[in-house]
Structure 1
Amino acid sequence: MRRWWAGIDWSCGVQDMVITDDEGAVVRHLRVPETPAGVRQILEALRELNPTSHRFSRKQVPIAIEDGNRLLVVELRRLGQAVTVIPPTVTARYRGRHGAAVSKSDRGDAYLLADIMRTHPDRYRPLPETSDQATAVAVLARAQASSAQDARERMLRLRSHLGLYFPAAAGAWAGMDRGLRRAEARAVLVAAPTPRQAAALSKRRLYDILAAAGRTRLLDQEAERLRTVFAAPALRQRPETETAMGQRTRMHLAELSVACQQAEDLAEQVEAAFAQHPHNQIYRSFPSCGPLLAARLFCEIGDDLNRFATARSLRAYAGTAPITWSSGQSHAVTHRTVCNRNLKSAAHQWAFGSPTRSAGCRALYDVRRERGDGYAAALRHVANRLLNGLHHCLRADLCYREEDMFRA
């Protein structure tokens, strides 16, 4: 039976689409807008490929594209059309196969995408059938992660600025959870952005600031600690320069407060959205898998249970499965760098916290360290075991059980 493949090279406004046959010849080329009318043109072109056969369907023609987040892709998938995403880096590597003089055009890239699908039909799979609810959780979780990263970057800029004139404040909350992003730290610096103002704060004034910022425990001890830190002798800038730097500190604090508030608001929305999904209970049953970390893992894995046929494929996608380099006399097993970086980061965080909450994870970590693995390598083994268990629990619709996960 004759087959066809299609490739779409997207751009702002107009998309180039090329359809090829079994021999790699171009059957159809069209330029369509990213509108409902453009989608209808694409589907009509696919139907016209074999109008006389009642066994042929446009859904049998796979479409390759470089960006799976386009509205065009969303509409095609809603209408049941199979769409495969091929990363631009892969397309660039294939470009030199069609000629020594490498050129680039929208039509040429669309043909190249279709030809990649034609020559390697089993290497690239269509986009997973992720539900609308899961996609919504993913949007919120990624936005929250971006806001949290923005808050960390703004905190580092603030800390760097404080080091120029107020080192006592730069290190006053070092080692504490969230550091200068803590509400009490920001409140104290807003009230006293310069060393002279901070040294003038009384213990009672510090107590009131900490209480107003939401701190409820060990208020007397913390107020006394800060008063001692700020009163200690230290090098200072000249008075007018110090005042100007304090004004800049207030600007950094305002930006940091906005970023922290956005991250906190999004975290609440992420937790509320993921709590409504059926997979929430399974993710939350695993050790050290809190509501936010569970949502971050879920948003990268999705709820299509057929997406990862085996646990190994999930581990490879997360970057925790090793990769082998072998040539001649040389042989090396290293960790993967080409993977889903967001999922890899979440899996590392998951593995980092699990040994303190799971005896099995702790024992596995200790065994790997005794065998000579480094810190990161041992955590990857823990992450592999957790991902294995998560894959099994999702497929079997079961919650985590320590005795089943680490059988003797």
Structure 2
Amino acid sequence: MGALTGIGVSTLSRLEAGQRHPRSTCWSRSPPSTGLPWKNCSRWWSTRGSHRSCTRRNGAVALTRNASPTTPAGSRRTGSFCPRTLRPTTLVETAMGHQTLALLAQLEAACKACDELASATEELFLQHPDAEIITSFPGLAALTGARLLAEIGDDRTRFDTARDLKAYAGSAPVTRESGKSRRVSHRRIKNSRLAATGRHWAFAALTASIGAHDHYNRRRETGDRYYAALRNLFNRMLGQLHHCLTTRQKFNEAIAFAPPNPSPLTAAA
């Protein structure tokens, strides 16, 4: 540390004597003959302050190098590099505490309102004539079924065919052909709320229905990605929902996901 301190003192002495710092392009003070006033030379202040801070930091590192935290040198190192953090005043802490309590009260009120709204929605949905049919599908509970019913409505003449409902929900793909090129992509113009509900429905159906899970696995084996396979499953189950609501019958797992019948050529082979 003595060597470092000596170097720092000699450099600082040159600055005090009016000599130029090796890394500086201006005089620390005005030269004897000509030069700018020292108050116009702002670099002198920055050079002097940075030099002092570097000298102190290098001295502390040299003093506490390879020192154990349990030794006095280690204690000084901890005190040098771990200064005490600033703490607000008592009035500021009290004000921040009141603000936090107010935010927690707002959050508690919002959670309570959500619970009351969910209870009221479930109670009113179960009174609807279509609730029994909708909740018979795997993956559809009271809240999800209520949201689905709110989007498609209870007017059965609104969608003449299941294809119209699938296009409205965005589950039906779009085919574009031009000459010899043919491109099939997902539909972008759709009811976003119904499409989001459909993704939740299809995801919940994977663990509630063996047929839905097998259908999803078949789509993944053919090369579909995760969302594409979920969208295909939602497309199929939405058609089944349209059929059940039109014919007033509940969901039947054996009929909805019946294994495909083999072709005559396959059976003959």
Q: TM-score, normalised by structure 1?
A: 0.40
**1:108 aligned partner:** none
**2:190 aligned partner:** 339
Out of 234, 240, 249, the residue aligned to residue 88 of structure 2 is: 240
**1:294 aligned partner:** 145
> What amino acid does structure 2 have at the position aligned with 1:291?
A
1:295-325 superposed Cα distances (whole Å, 9 cap, x missing partner): 0000111111111111111111111111123
Out of 106, 127, 130, the residue aligned to residue 276 of structure 1 is: 127
Q: TM-score, normalised by structure 2?
A: 0.60
Unaligned runs of 5+ in 2: 1-83, 260-269
**2:19 aligned partner:** none
List aligned pairs for 1:152-171, cutoff 5 A: none
Q: How far 1:330 sits from its partner (Å)?
A: 4.5
The secondary structure found in structure 2 opposite 1:314 is helix
**2:233 aligned partner:** 382
> What amino acid does structure 2 have at the position aligned with 1:301?
I
Out of 88, 110, 116, the residue aligned to residue 265 of structure 1 is: 116
State the alpha-carbon separation in 1 of the partners of residues 256 and 131 from structure 2. Answer: 19
Does 1:311 find its partner at 2:162? yes
Out of 324, 327, 330, the residue aligned to residue 178 of structure 2 is: 327
Does 1:357 find its partner at 2:208? yes
State the alpha-carbon separation in 2 of the partners of residues 352 and 362 from structure 1. Answer: 9
List aligned pairs for 1:1-400, cutoff 5 A: 238-240=86-88, 243=93, 247-328=98-179, 330-400=181-251
- When Rg is computed on C-alpha atoms for both structures, the one with the higher figure is 2
Structure number with the higher strand fraction is 1
State the aligned residue count: 173
Change (3 A) 1:273 1:239: same
> What amino acid does structure 2 have at the position aligned with 1:299?
A
Q: How far 1:355 sits from its partner (Å)?
A: 0.5
Change (3 A) 1:240 1:325: farther
Q: Percent identity?
A: 46
Provide the aligned C-alpha RMSD in A: 2.2
Change (3 A) 1:329 1:282: same
Change (3 A) 1:378 1:237: farther
State the alpha-carbon separation in 2 of the partners of residues 391 and 275 from structure 1. Answer: 19
Change (3 A) 1:240 1:347: same
**2:7 aligned partner:** none
Change (3 A) 1:255 1:407: same
> What amino acid does structure 1 have at the position aligned with 2:255?
D
Unaligned runs of 5+ in 1: 1-235
State the alpha-carbon separation in 2 of the partners of residues 253 and 338 from structure 1. Answer: 40
State the alpha-carbon separation in 2 of the partners of residues 392 and 237 from structure 1. Answer: 68
Q: How far 1:329 sits from its partner (Å)?
A: 5.5
> What amino acid does structure 2 have at the position aligned with 1:240?
P
Structure number with the higher helix fraction is 2
State the alpha-carbon separation in 1 of the partners of residues 244 and 175 from structure 2. Answer: 28
Change (3 A) 1:329 1:259: farther
State the alpha-carbon separation in 2 of the partners of residues 379 and 247 from structure 1. Answer: 47
State the alpha-carbon separation in 1 of the partners of residues 88 and 227 from structure 2. Answer: 48
Q: How far 1:245 sits from its partner (Å)?
A: 5.4
Change (3 A) 1:247 1:328: farther
State the alpha-carbon separation in 1 of the partners of residues 181 and 97 from structure 2. Answer: 58
**1:122 aligned partner:** none
> What amino acid does structure 2 have at the position aligned with 1:256?
L
The secondary structure found in structure 2 opposite 1:333 is strand
> What amino acid does structure 1 have at the position aligned with 2:205?
S
Q: How far 1:259 sits from its partner (Å)?
A: 2.0
State the alpha-carbon separation in 1 of the partners of residues 150 and 160 from structure 2. Answer: 18
1:25-83 superposed Cα distances (whole Å, 9 cap, x missing partner): xxxxxxxxxxxxxxxxxxxxxxxxxxxxxxxxxxxxxxxxxxxxxxxxxxxxxxxxxxx
